[in-house]
Amino acid sequence: MTQHQQIQNPVQNKLPCIYKTQRVPLPSKNKNTTPQKFKIVATPILNESFGRLIADRVPFTISEKVDGTSCFVHHSQLHKRRDLKLTREGTRLVDAHFAQQEHTTKPEPIKINLHKHFQPLPNGWIMAKGARANFDVHQNMIKNERHCIGWMPVQRTLSDDKWHCQPLDWDNQTARLVVPTLETTTAHNNNARTSLSFQFKQVPLSDLEGKSLELIGPKIQRNVYAFPKKATHAFVVHGSIPILNTPTTQTHSADQIKEFFSHDKLRQFLQENPAMEGLVVHFKEGQLFKVHRNHLDLAWPLKTGPHKLHLLLDDEMHTSSE
């Protein structure tokens, strides 16, 4: 694997943070009530599984975390993310369970069932591959989760699927992708310099089989990437946008890699790259870990400043009619 050859693991479950996290209660407007909302913040301690992979020098690449809405290509058909939520009975059971298990060092699994305590399974819905590990063979939940990640096929006739359908060419079965390209130039001192550029490409859905994507555009997530109002939406393959000049097992020692992922260093890195929502680490063995700006108490989306995917795209390709 070369330094810039990206590992593109599909996202099929909720990604763990590279650090251990903790829930911090948000202040309540009513001082006499217990806070009901929390935020998740990263501690300075590395996630044990992540730290073990780093120590074992398992090859990895780092990609930009893209702020859109998740999709998945299954049987050459685009699917959108659809999480099953708990029923009222399931919510009561989970709330009671978490309250009981909050101070124990060995929490027990929640005793709820996919078919009894979640909303009915919609037609065509498939459980995300990674979420299957949360249930046993009888569909009883064996991990403490409040929802079940899955996918629904996108339908051309549904108004709710309008923006998912816009980048699709239904007749030719292709999807409009933002494709990053690495460009190497030679500076005056003869040192090679690598940079990223982006372009749109129509890619057959069959070529995207099994991949997860992120839909971005003017109608998605407050248009954080500053698409023109009438621009056509597009997909980004998860893991396809490399973060340049970051350490790899080929170019850096274990200590250098660990230093890069230290809490203070990574916070500084994201401060210096304010247009990034965060980063995702893809290991060659398939594991995925993320860190979001909010984990490190950094604002997102930005109120001012650059929101674009680096250089993003030239105006002629970037704009089209709805």
pLDDT in tens, 179-193: 998 877 776 666 667
Indicate the length of the chain as a whole number: 322
pLDDT for the residue 315: 45
3-state DSSP assignment of residue 215: strand
Q: Average pLDDT, whole number, for the chain?
A: 86
Q: Which runs of E-coded beta strand occur in the chain?
A: 19-25, 38-46, 60-64, 69-74, 77-81, 84-85, 126-127, 147-148, 150-153, 168-169, 174-186, 192-204, 212-216, 234-237, 278-283, 288-292
DSSP secondary structure string, 296-317? GT--SS-SSS--SSTT---HHH
Six-digit token string for 154:
């996108």
So what's the pLDDT on residue 322? 37
pLDDT at position 316 = 40
**Average pLDDT, stretch 4-29?**
85
Helices (H) and strands (E) in the chain, counts: 7, 16
Instruction: Provide the pLDDT for residue 262.
Output: 96
The predicted-structure confidence for 217-257, as pLDDT tens digits, reads as follows 999 998 888 888 889 999 999 999 999 889 999 999 989 99
Cα separations (Å) of 277 from 64, 166, 294? 8, 24, 9
Sequence-distant contacts of 1-5: CB under 8 A, at least 24 apart: 1/59, 1/250, 1/284, 3/248, 3/250, 3/251, 4/182, 4/194, 4/242, 4/244, 5/61
- Confidence at 26, pLDDT banded by 50, 70, 90: confident
Question: 278: which strand partners?
Answer: 292
Compute how many other C-beta atoms are within 10 angstroms of the C-beta atom of residue 14.
Answer: 15
| pTM of full prediction above 0.95 | no
Report residue 126 as tokens.
């498939």
Residue 89 has pLDDT above 70, yes or no: yes
